[in-house]
């Protein structure tokens, strides 16, 4: 008997390998998301890239994910993202970091981060217009680091003129004790005011939206391993400083009963990371592959009524796809073919647990987790060979190798 463990193992003594830092590709992917939301593009900044490179190496060396480094440990480049930016000689401590571990490609890393609500808001910041990026992998997985900044604030920190009287930010700028708070706030607010009045995600008319949200640290939905893909609205504080939410609902297209969702706002965010004007809906259940959905939302801001109504579609699932119950179902699969098996999440079993499988000698089994609820399975064997898959003591399913000749019968 062989076992397949569906989990991520971390080996922090593994050799490291730098992933080619394709600045243009990173900018393109992040800016594609921002463009879809109507936001201005980010521009590459080499010093932010240097800071990101140091942190990606640090994470890969230790096999851990986080924004902090420990002073005195090998590869230390700064305790926090702002410290690492300053160490890389970036002029300002006003930076924002997005990180993820596990994705095998740059585009997958961006998709994962856009599925995670706190990191999505990071990429869709109204006050960011610079980007640095780097990635590093160990034997087991890759670590992706994106660091964003604000050009006008950086330039203000580099300005050698004497500070005018008034309120100051202390410790914000590299090599400067203080900088005018009025100037810094003006620089930030000018960029914010130049951005769209509202940012909707998924964007109107999107056709390739993922069906689910799985992982984020911290978890915005404590107690849930899997939810539907979160829907978000950001109202630009430069135009709507005090928005009041009236309704925010998600529907299947053509239906009038809203789906069961959890609303997160600045006041209802369990980790208090939402800013004013940020709102998100988490469907309690995964969205359906290939299905279309409708969002309806209404706000009031200082007497002005705001209404949003838009549609999007979830991407189509892999094929052929079978919906499992885990009650001993019997499936047929041709030798050498790849099939997908989906186990819908429940409150008791939100993701596929550790699996074991058993088959006849000579059968080749290639099984991997396509997502937390879906298995990708390729088997190679003789006609009528039987594969038994178990994921709990009394639950599982069967897969038989389909005979090449229709008249051939299996016992």
- What confidence tens digit (pLDDT) does each residue in 51-98 have? 999 999 999 999 999 999 999 999 999 999 999 999 999 999 999 999
- Report residue 303 as tokens: 């007497």
What integer pLDDT is reported at residue 391 of this predicted model?
86
Span 9-62, pLDDT tens digits: 233 344 565 555 588 999 999 999 999 999 999 999 999 999 999 999 999 999
Which band of pLDDT confidence, cut at 50, 70 and 90, is reported for residue 392?
Answer: confident
Q: With helix as H, strand as E and coil as C, how does the chain read?
A: CEEECCCCCCCCCCCCEECCCCHHHHHHHHHHHHHHCCCCCCEECHHHHHHHHHHHHHHHHHCCCCCCCCCCCCCCCCCCHHHHHHHCCCCECCEEEEEEECCCCHHHHHHHHHHCHHHHHHHCCCCCCEEEEEEEECCCCEEEEEEEECHHHHHHHHCCCCCCCCCEEECCECCCCEEEHHHHHHHHHHHHHCCCCEEEECCCCCCCECCEECCCCCCCCCCCCCEECCEEEEECCCCCCCEEEEEEEEEECCCCCCCCEEEECCCCCCCCCCCCCEEEEEECCCCCCCCEEEEEEEEEECCEEEEEEEEEEECCCCCCEEECCCEEEEEEECCCCEEEEECCCCCCCCCCCCEEEECCCCCEEEEEEEECCEEEEEEECCCCCEEEEEEECCEEEEEEECCCCCCCCCC
Q: What is the mean pLDDT of residues 246-274?
A: 97
Enumerate the β-bridge partners of residue 26. none
> Which residues on neighbouring strands pair with residue 130, listed in sequence order?
43, 149
What percent of the chain lies above the pLDDT cut of 90? 83
Contact 195, 235 (CB under 8 A): no
Which pLDDT score, from 0 to 100, does residue 17 have?
Answer: 59
Taking residues 145-152, report their average pLDDT: 98
Q: What is the rounded distance in angstroms from the CA atom of residue 19 to the CA atom of residue 17?
A: 6
Q: Is the pTM of this model over 0.95?
A: no
Per residue in 190-210, pLDDT (tens digit) is 999 999 999 999 999 999 999
Per-residue confidence (pLDDT) for residue 3, from 0 to 100: 32
Tens-digit pLDDT profile for residues 328-371: 899 999 999 999 999 999 888 899 888 899 999 999 999 999 99
Confidence check: pLDDT of 2 > 50: no
Q: In sequence order, what E strands does 229-284 have?
A: 231-235, 243-252, 261-264, 278-283
Give the C-alpha distances (Å, rounded to integers) separating 110 from 99, 102, 146, 175: 10, 12, 10, 34
């Amino acid at each position: 008997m062989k076992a397949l463990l569906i989990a991520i193992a971390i080996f922090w003594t593994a050799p490291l390998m730098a992933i080619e830092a394709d600045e243009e590709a990173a900018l393109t992917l992040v800016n594609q998301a921002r463009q879809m939301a109507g936001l201005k593009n980010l521009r590459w900044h080499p010093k932010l890239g240097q800071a990101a490179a140091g942190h990606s190496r640090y994470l890969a060396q230790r096999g851990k994910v986080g924004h902090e480094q420990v002073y005195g440990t090998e590869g230390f480049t700064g305790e926090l993202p702002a410290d690492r930016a300053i160490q890389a000689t970036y002029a300002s401590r006003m930076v924002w970091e997005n990180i993820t571990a596990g994705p095998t490609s740059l585009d997958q890393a961006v998709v994962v981060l856009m599925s995670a609500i706190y990191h999505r808001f990071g990429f869709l910041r109204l006050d960011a217009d610079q980007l640095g990026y780097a990635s590093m992998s160990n034997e087991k997985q890759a670590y992706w680091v994106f660091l964003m900044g604000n050009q006008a604030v950086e330039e203000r920190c580099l300005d050698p003129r004497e500070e005018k009287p008034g309120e100051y930010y202390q410790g914000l700028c590299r090599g400067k004790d203080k900088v005018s708070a009025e100037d810094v706030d003006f620089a930030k607010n000018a960029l914010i005011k130049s951005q769209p009045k509202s940012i909707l995600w998924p964007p109107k008319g999107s056709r390739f939206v993922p069906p689910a949200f799985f992982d984020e640290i911290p978890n915005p939905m404590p107690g849930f391993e899997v939810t539907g893909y979160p829907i978000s609205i950001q109202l630009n504080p430069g135009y709507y400083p005090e928005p009041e939410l009236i309704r925010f609902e998600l529907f299947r297209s053509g239906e009038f009963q809203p789906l069961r969702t959890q609303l997160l706002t600045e006041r209802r965010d369990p980790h208090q990371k939402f800013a004013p004007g940020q709102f998100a809906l988490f469907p309690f259940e995964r969205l359906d592959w290939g299905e279309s959905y409708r969002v309806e939302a209404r706000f009031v801001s200082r007497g002005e009524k705001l209404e949003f109504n838009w549609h999007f579609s979830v991407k189509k699932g892999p094929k052929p796809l079978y919906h499992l119950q885990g009650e001993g179902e019997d499936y047929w699969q041709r030798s050498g073919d790849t099939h997908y098996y989906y186990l819908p999440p429940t409150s008791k079993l939100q993701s596929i647990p550790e699996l074991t499988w058993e088959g006849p000698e000579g059968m080749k089994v290639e099984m991997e987790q396509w997502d937390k609820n879906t298995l990708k399975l390729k088997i190679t064997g003789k006609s009528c060979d039987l594969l038994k898959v178990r994921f709990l003591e009394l639950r599982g399913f069967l897969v038989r190798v389909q005979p090449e000749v229709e008249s051939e019968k299996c016992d």
